Structure formats: structure tokens, C-alpha cells
Amino acid sequence: MIKTDILIIGAGPTGLFTVFEAGLLKLKTHLIDALPQPGGQCSELYPKKPIYDIPGFPEIKAGDLVDNLMEQIKPFSPGFTLGERAETIEKLEDGTFIVTTNKGTKHHAPVIAIAGGLGSFEPKKPLIDNIANYEDKGVSYMIKDPEVYRDKKVVIAGGGDSALDWSIFLADVASEVTLVHRRNEFRGALDSVEKVGELAKLGKVNLITQAEVVGLLGENELNSVVIRHKDEGEFIHEADHFIPLFGLSPKLGPIANWGLEIEKNAIKVDNSYDYSTNVPGIYAIGDVNTYKGKLKLILSGFHEAAIMCQSAYQRIFPDKRYVMKYTTVGGIQGFDGTKKEAKKEVIKAIEV
């Protein structure tokens, strides 16, 4: 059985930063995530996309943010259970918890921090009869590595930000990019809509509106799609890859059955104090929680992690009083024996 001070469910940015804040308090952490690697959505859905609202970074790619967080928490030697989903929870008589994954791995901790983002995600798939036959054989529901599409013919379906942004990005990667949308109007950012329009005029994006992909063709792998246009009817379009980007459906999964107060598919918390749930010892931070005035931003998750860890410390050590020290003063003492601190200034009298 894995034992730790704070068991973090979700290894996205908020979960990773929780490791750092807990480490400053000398609290050990372990993370569970259903994905095979840390980073959550940033690693799985858009590692190459830039983020513009992380303090101190005018622009940073999502994957680079995850890399930076992993480097930042390295001194605190967190444990990871990856590729497994937190399935059941049992509260013991002493108030601690045992969380078991879908693969039977047991974890024991006095504090649980649910940082599972919006929960687990499932892509919204178009209603094409044989689409399952082409999954991983030309059909993908997300883009992990744009280089896969280098010099390939790509058809993207959708009318939101993801469809627009990836059409723009792949215009300089793929040999041909076709964007298919069932309406003339798009739901994405205005500058992205305008950029796609410009690329269409330059012949770098083949824009087909008032249409949808209704069929897939190919013997062993995808080689073309069937497009149905409102006025022109059906026609076949060559394609090496078909990427329907219709969004993702978030689900809390088994956590929804843990006796927590749920509101609109999110966990309700007390934000006036410490982001605790209705179950003492269980906290929810990041996009997975909800409260009045909630902002689903990464930086909000970082703030909630810091507050939550202070409360967790008091729960684990009720008789101790922690005196907060700024890292600029106290530095960082890692569990691996490393220490980071500012160089001490040498005070020397001036000789006259």
C-alpha cells in the first residue's frame, strides 16, 4: 500500500503545483492520474498550443508549462500512479482514507486533494457508421504531435477554436488542409476566423462550409472522406487523416459516487476558507470545483492549491503552528537533500 501525507487525484498543472506547495510545508505527496503521463489536458490535448495568462510568462506552450512544473517539484520527490483511475474511497475510523484504483492499487493518506480538472474527457464523435474502424488508422479526435501530419492531406471538421487553431497551425505542416463546417458562421475567436479566411484566399486552407463529413473510405486505413454539401450534394475528397474536433464531454467518473456535494458536474467547496468539500479531509481544487465567483483558470488553481495545503497541514498536525516563510528568505529544502536559496550578502564595514 502506498502511504503519503496528501494524495492528489489529478496530475494536471494544479495537481503538480500542489506538490510544490505541500513540499514547502514538509508534506509528502503522491498523485493518481488516468493518463499515462503527468500534465492533464496540457499534455494530452494541446501540448503545442500557447497559453497567455500564466503570470511571468507572456507566452508559454502548454507542454513547456508542464515540463517547468515537473522541474519545479523535482526536489520534493512526488510519487505517481499513472494510467490508473481513482475508483473507490474508504474512510477509516481514524479519519484517514484508502483510495483504490481501477487496477487495484491502494493508497493511504490523511488528506485527499481532488485536482482532476474537469474530470475525465471523452471526445464527441460524429455519427458516422464505420468511424470506429478507422480510429488510429487515419481518424484522431485530438492532435498530440503535429509532425504526424507533415506533408499529409488532412481534413478537419468543426467550427470552434480547436478546429480553427489547428487548421491555421497545420497549414504550414500538412500538404493540404481542408476545414469542413456545417455552417457559414464559426464559434471561435474573431482573429482565428479572420486568419482562416485569409489562408483560404491564399489557397493554404480549403474551406468548405454548409457541409459535413458523412462517410469514410479506405481498405486498411483512411484514404478519403465523403462530404455532403448543402447545395452540391455528396462528393469524395482525398484524405490521409480525418480529425473531427467537436469538443470533449467531461465526466467526474467514479468520484461522483464518493458522497461529495456535486453542483453542475463540479464539486462544491467552501472557498471562504480552504476549498474543503462536505467530507472533512477531502479538498477539491482547480477546474473540478465550483463556488460563487469561480474562475476556471490555471492561475486560480495555483492559488487554491496554496490555500488548501495550509489547511491540510493543520489537519495533519493540529498541535503544530506553521510560520510561513517566503522562499526568497528560507529557500527550498528538498526531500532529495538538495537546497536552493539566495546567496547571502556579505556585510562589511567601510574602512576610512
At 330 the pLDDT is: 79
At 119 the pLDDT is: 64
At 118 the pLDDT is: 65
At 340 the pLDDT is: 83
Q: Which three cell numbers stand for residue 232?
A: 452540391
At 36 the pLDDT is: 77
116-130, 198-212, 332-346 — which one is most confidently predicted on average? 198-212
Would the annotation count 33 as a binding residue? yes
The residues, ordered by sequence, that sit 6+ positions from 134 with a Cβ below 8 Å of its Cβ are: 216, 218, 221, 222, 242
Residue 345: pLDDT above 80? Answer: no
At 188 the pLDDT is: 79
Q: What is the pLDDT of residues 225-238, one digit of tens each?
A: 999 999 999 999 99
Instruction: Give the HSE-up count for residue 158: Cα atoms under 13 Å, Cβ half-sphere.
Output: 24
Pairwise CA distance, residues 49 & 158, whole Å: 18
Residue 162: pLDDT above 80? Answer: yes
3-state secondary structure of 142: coil
Would the annotation count 101 as a binding residue? no
Q: What is the pLDDT of residues 168-226, one digit of tens each?
A: 999 999 999 999 999 999 987 788 899 999 999 999 999 999 999 999 999 999 999 99
At 205 the pLDDT is: 97
At 76 the pLDDT is: 96
Would the annotation count 41 as a binding residue? yes
**Could you tell me the pLDDT band of residue 149, with boundaries at 50, 70 and 90?**
very high
Closest CA to 192 of 224, 156, 225: 156
At 337 the pLDDT is: 84
Pairwise CA distance, residues 340 & 306, whole Å: 20
The percentage of residues in the chain with a pLDDT greater than 90, rounded to a whole number, is: 71
pLDDT, greater one: 257 or 80:
80
Pairwise CA distance, residues 272 & 275, whole Å: 8
**Nearest 10 degrees: Cα torsion 283, 286, 290, 294:** 130
**pTM of the predicted model over 0.75:** no
Q: What is the pLDDT of residues 243-281, one digit of tens each?
A: 999 876 667 788 888 999 999 889 999 887 899 999 999
User: How confident is the prediction for the chain on average, in pLDDT?
Assistant: 91
Q: Which three cell numbers stand for residue 94?
A: 481514524
Would the annotation count 46 as a binding residue? yes
Pairwise CA distance, residues 215 & 129, whole Å: 8
**Could you tell me the pLDDT band of residue 9, with boundaries at 50, 70 and 90?**
very high
| Cα 307-269-273 angle, rounded to 5 deg | 40
At 5 the pLDDT is: 98
**Could you tell me the pLDDT band of residue 84, with boundaries at 50, 70 and 90?**
confident
Would the annotation count 113 as a binding residue? no
Under DSSP, the state recorded for 343 is P
Q: What is the pLDDT of residues 26-59, one digit of tens each?
A: 999 999 998 878 998 888 777 778 899 999 999 9
Would the annotation count 121 as a binding residue? yes
Would the annotation count 86 as a binding residue? yes
